[in-house]
Every structure is written in structure tokens, then in C-alpha cells.
Structure 1
């Protein structure tokens, strides 16, 4: 769910800077992942690492396996092979409740039940911390308020979910994830249905959260957005990880032509604004 623009003083990606360096212990490690759905292997050999304070963007063409990769990493889809480790422990040995305390998952389109307001929705995010037999206490109510604040959604608190715009819904869904208190936030194409302003707002929120020390994994189609806010980009194609590294290195013209079959180049101006220059009427790259 989505949000109001953060404060004007929010650091831009160029001034926010990356989080802790490679020495930080990974919270999530995916190695040589394979995923089979309906008898077909969707992901063949995928790798992903999430560390505190860093934003990793997972990009690739339609059908590359991006969402399958992150859903499997999040424990929402069963792996056919390879390794998924959370804080060094195989995901198959992590209980559902403990996994919910390690990672929050923001889907592309959140379900919008009737008759529930924003505060109630965000309190649902506290479920892994509350348990089935305890009522929410002061700490839980404080955590909900803090999650709403961090997602720039406090002004929405008394609204019904059914009255929110797409951007507002994504901000609230982000607050639901933050209320879990998990150190890793996985967002699966959260900006795909948002307009330019709401997309920029959500991107600024994610960058700010990474600056606060969260590990962020973002699946996104917009390569200019990925280049603008990510510390690291993971490129997927045909179910495989084909490149991992800084955006300026990984999203070069040759790779754009080979993977996306387009004549394009990323450009960043002196003020840190990023654009993708595309030869729209040129024939497809060979």
C-alpha cells in the first residue's frame, strides 16, 4: 500500500549512500536456487544476498523468474533445489512464525477486505509478535504508530482500506510489513500500478528505510528507478541470475541489448536524476 511524499529533507539516493559494506553479515542468502511450478522449472540457477542497510533491486524481462525468486526466498514457495538461508539457517528449518519475524513481504497487489480500517490492517502485521492467545498491548500499539509514521501513512490511520488510492494502499501495506519488526523487507513490484508521483514517493521511502538499517529486496521493472535507488542490482533472465553488481556496472548498454533486446542506455545527470534513453523506433536488438 502507498504513501504521502516524505519530508523534503529526505536524502536522495546519491546523498543517502549505501549501507554497511560487504563485511555486514548477510541476513538472507540464496544460492543456486531452483523452483518448479506445475511440472516446469521456472527458476534454474538464481542467487541473491540481502545485508543490513542495503537495497537490492531484482530486475529482468517478463517471465525471467524475479517474483518466483523472491517468493521462494520469503518461504512462500517451495524450492526444488539449491539453498535459502535466513541468518545462516536453512529456510526449511525455520518455523513460519519465526520467519515472519525475519522478513516482511509487500505484494504487488494487496487484498482489500471490506470493513477494515488502516489501523486495524497495520495491527495485523503485529501478529507474529502477539501470538494467538494475547491481545495487543501498549508495545504493539506503539509499533503500529511507528510503522505508520515510517511509511508516511499516519494521516490515513482512520480511513477504510476500500477508500484508498493505489499509492495510499501500497504505503499502508508497507506499514503492515514494518509493523512486523523484521530486519528484511521484500517488495514484489510494489510500484507497477502506481503513477509517477506515487512511485517516486514509494522509492524515497524504501531508500530511507535502507538508510535506517533495513535490508531491502525490491523486484522492479523500471530500470531507471532501480539504477537511481539500488546499492546493488541482480539481473535475471530465463530463470537464471546473469549479473550482480552496482547499477552503473550491471545495467550497461550491451547487457540491455542482450537481455531486453532494446537499444537503450542509462544516463545520470549532475543532479543525480536518472533516465533510460531508448531508441523506441529502432529495430529490435539482435
Structure 2
């Protein structure tokens, strides 16, 4: 998406969103969304199905235009080596990856593309499926691979769409540790999840999306 001059903020802010409106066709999903994410923030986007959670996340990741409104990134994102591409890590609800590559091959490929040192699959709880082709992974394993791909280059802003979906408790703990790792190194995370207990565990702010077209509110937990 085109980077707008956008809202102004001090250098400690990772992400700033002002008066964001999102539409699909003639339908307004979100109107007047305001959000600020600072280092150490974990923002959980919640709301009923159909209120635009995934659309919001795709917009914040720079994969979709906003109309109107402004999405702006702080220096930790824009000045990352390689620019925005390396300053943001995004995991969609469904992993898109070459099915013939094994887990370790896929992570190695991403590491080379991102210009970072290779990360062992064990660090993401993927040791048992390191040699398994992506196409043969379970839904939960694919979810963990997606999260690993989003954080392996240590971006300042990490955006995760349903990171706990289809995971058992141990795997959810692995993902939670990755989120906590982003916080500890001064990054910010924006995620959506239907797992209410995990929202409570990880979130520092909650952004609630209401019925279609209504304005959201942000609460600090």
C-alpha cells in the first residue's frame, strides 16, 4: 500500500492508525479506527465474525489500502534493514508456502531472503516436523510455521491472524513464548484470536470491533 505521511508520533511508537475506514464493496466494515502500538504492546483485535478483524490486520501489514484514514509506522519499522519488508512480520490465518519444501527448507529460504542468520526449527517447536513437506503438515503445524516465518527476522511489528487456531496447549505455549519474545526485545504485536483465555494471557490492549460499520474502542488491560 502507499505509505501516507499519516499521523505524527514520537520515535518510540511502532504503529499509529488514525480514523481508519475499511470497506468491502458498498459495505463498511470498520469506521474511525484509532490505534497506537508502542514497544512492548500486544494488541488483541476482537469482535464477532464479519466485523473485519482479518481485514484490519491485512491493512496494518500493508497488504491492503485504507480508505480513508492513515496507517503510519515508526522508525523501528521503516528504518529496518530492507525497509518495511523487514520491519513487519505477518502471519495470515492460512499459511501460503510451497508445499514441496520441507519445514526447515522453507525457514532457510525465508532466512536467506530476509538476510538473517538461519534459525533452527526447534526454536519454534517444529523439530519433529523439520523434514516434513509443508503440504503434509497438519493445520496446527502449518500455523506454527506461519508464526515462525513472521518472527524469524526479528521485526519491530508482528501481525498474527488467529495464531492459536488448531493448536494444542503445548503448541499454544510455544506461540505465546514467541509473542513474549517480541515484547521483551521492544517490538509490538497485533493479533486476532478466538481464544479468550490467550487474549487475557498475552494482550496489553484490546481493540474491540463492533457491528458492521460501528466505531471500535481500545482498552488497556
TM-score, normalised to structure 1, is: 0.64
Alpha-carbon distance between aligned partners in 2 of 1:154 and 1:195, rounded to the nearest angstrom: 16
Query: CA 1:227–1:241 in 2, change beyond 3 Å: closer, same or farther?
Result: farther
Which is worse superposed, 71-80 or 192-201?
192-201
Question: Any residues of structure 2 matched to 1:65-84 within 5 Å, and which?
Answer: 65-84=52-71
SS for the counterpart of 1:100 is helix
Which residue in 2 is equivalent to 1:117? 102
Alpha-carbon distance between aligned partners in 2 of 1:128 and 1:112, rounded to the nearest angstrom: 14
Alpha-carbon distance between aligned partners in 2 of 1:104 and 1:69, rounded to the nearest angstrom: 15
Which residue in 2 is equivalent to 1:176? 149
Residues 101 and 128, structure 1, Cα contact 8 Å, conserved in 2: no
Deviations 1:49-89 (A, max 9, x none): 22222211111111122111111111111111111001179
SS for the counterpart of 2:19 is strand
Which is worse superposed, 73-82 or 154-163?
154-163
Which residue in 1 is equivalent to 2:51? 64
Q: Could you tell me which of 96, 108, 113 is aligned with 2:93?
A: 108
Residues 101 and 180, structure 1, Cα contact 8 Å, conserved in 2: yes
Matched, 1:243 2:217: yes
Which residue in 2 is equivalent to 1:45? 32
Which residue in 2 is equivalent to 1:256? none
Matched, 1:156 2:141: no
Alpha-carbon distance between aligned partners in 1 of 2:37 and 2:109, rounded to the nearest angstrom: 25
Q: Which has the greater radius of gyration?
A: 1
Residues 127 and 180, structure 1, Cα contact 8 Å, conserved in 2: no
Alpha-carbon offset, residue 240 of structure 1: 4.3
Which residue in 2 is equivalent to 1:223? 196
Alpha-carbon distance between aligned partners in 2 of 1:158 and 1:198, rounded to the nearest angstrom: 18
Alpha-carbon distance between aligned partners in 1 of 2:109 and 2:25, rounded to the nearest angstrom: 32
Deviations 1:190-242 (A, max 9, x none): 22333444334323432233223321111112222211221111111134453
Query: CA 1:209–1:151 in 2, change beyond 3 Å: closer, same or farther?
Result: farther
Matched, 1:144 2:118: yes
Query: CA 1:79–1:164 in 2, change beyond 3 Å: closer, same or farther?
Result: same
Alpha-carbon distance between aligned partners in 1 of 2:34 and 2:101, rounded to the nearest angstrom: 38
Unmatched tracts of structure 1, length 5 or more: 1-22, 131-139, 248-286
SS for the counterpart of 1:125 is helix
Unmatched tracts of structure 2, length 5 or more: 1-9
Question: How many correspondences in the alignment?
Answer: 208
Deviations 1:33-54 (A, max 9, x none): 0122223222211122222222
Cα RMSD of the aligned pairs, angstroms, is 2.7
